[in-house]
Amino acid sequence: MSYLIAISGKGGVGKTTVAGLLVNRLVKRGCKPVLAIDADPNTCLDRVLGVSVDKTIGGVREEAREIAGKGMASGIAKRELLEMKIEESLVEANDFDLIAMGRPEGPGCYCYANNVLRTTITAISNHYPYVVLDNEAGLENLSRRIILEIDLLIIVTDPSRSGFETVSRLYHLSREMEIKFNRLVIIVNKLRNDKLPDSVSSLKMSTGADLVVGLPENTEIAEFQEDGKSLNLLSIDNPVSNRLDKLLTELFIERKD
């Protein structure tokens, strides 16, 4: 069984940054291989991780739809073809692999392919001890039930009041949608001083979050992303990356190196 970390939050708060840094830190502490899943249609985790995606799962689904539409494949062959193409879309790096979901289905759900996608992605995930899922803003992907069992849900926010309100809304929505997760961590990103806002304690209480973690606004990260550079190359003492490493320790994710 793999340990699944799913990252959610409103737009632009730092979800992909946190996802990329967590993949790096997991790998560095020997918790590898990691499967990174980019569930944002606007694929960008690849750049953060220093790799590049050619094929997305959305593209694979469209190819399968065309083949099925032309009546070119029997039931079994169709399934095998889809599975093969899903595996082809996996980007392999040294210590992690990346799969990008690409566009979600358009109007008229292609349920057959989606079911195959779901089972195949679950099967692929099972080969990795750790899976990190980066989402688009909101809970769309989680509600699509691509992945069923979330060990750790991370909701990222900025330190603003409206950001905190969004965390609260997302938390309640996740309950309404019966998204299952074992632990919840709220990350307050881009703090201008190291102090978390006072309202953190009531947010922690109302959501039942296990931990609330503050991450500083950091020029090195901002510059790296402005230049399109992979976060793998951040300096060893980067405070954001180090704080996330400490979070892994707090979550009892042991070093294996």
Ligand X SMILES: Nc1ncnc2c1ncn2[C@@H]1O[C@H](COP(=O)(O)OP(=O)(O)OP(=O)(O)O)[C@@H](O)[C@H]1O
- Name the site residues for ligand X (rule: CB under 6 A): 9, 11-17, 40, 137, 189-190, 215, 217-218, 221-222, 225, 240
- From Mg ion, ligand X, none, which one binds at residue 137 (CB under 5 to 8 Å depending on kind)? ligand X
Minimal distance, residue 24 CB to Mg ion, in Å: 16
239 preceded by a cis bond (ω within 30 of 0): no
**Cα-Cα-Cα-Cα dihedral sign, residues 203, 207, 212, 218:** negative
Minimal distance, residue 251 CB to Mg ion, in Å: 22
Residue 101 burial by Cβ neighbours in a 10 Å radius (0-12, 13-18, 19+): buried
* Positions in 159-178 near Mg ion (CB under 5 A): none
Q: Does 17 bind Mg ion (CB under 5 A)?
A: no
Amino acid at 131: V
Counting residues that bind Mg ion (by CB under 5 A) gives: 2
Kindly report the backbone phi and psi dihedral angles of residue 67, in degrees, each rounded to the nearest multiple of 5, phi listed first.
Answer: -60, -45
Q: Which residue has the tokens 């946190």?
A: 18
- From Mg ion, ligand X, none, which one binds at residue 85 (CB under 5 to 8 Å depending on kind)? none
Exactly one of 2, 3, 7, 15 binds Mg ion (CB under 5 A); that residue is 15
DSSP three-state, residue 95 = coil
Residues 136/170, Cβ–Cβ less than 8 Å: no
Stretch that binds Mg ion, among 14-22, 102-110, 117-125, 200-208 (CB under 5 A): 14-22
Q: Does 16 bind Mg ion (CB under 5 A)?
A: yes
Minimal distance, residue 189 CB to Mg ion, in Å: 12
Distances (CA, A) of 43 to 67, 99, 207, 243: 25, 10, 29, 26
Residue 176 burial by Cβ neighbours in a 10 Å radius (0-12, 13-18, 19+): exposed
- From ligand X, Mg ion, none, which one binds at residue 174 (CB under 5 to 8 Å depending on kind)? none
Residues 186/213, Cβ–Cβ less than 8 Å: yes
- From Mg ion, ligand X, none, which one binds at residue 225 (CB under 5 to 8 Å depending on kind)? ligand X
**Within 13 Å, how many C-alpha atoms sit on residue 70's CB side?**
7
If the CB atoms of residues 61 and 190 are measured against ligand X, the closer one turns out to be: 190
If the CB atoms of residues 16 and 120 are measured against ligand X, the closer one turns out to be: 16
Q: Which residues pair with 189 in a beta bridge?
A: none
If the CB atoms of residues 207 and 241 are measured against ligand X, the closer one turns out to be: 241
Minimal distance, residue 178 CB to Mg ion, in Å: 25
- From ligand X, Mg ion, none, which one binds at residue 36 (CB under 5 to 8 Å depending on kind)? none
Closest residue to Mg ion: CB criterion: 16
Residues lying near Mg ion in the complex (CB under 5 A) are found at 15-16
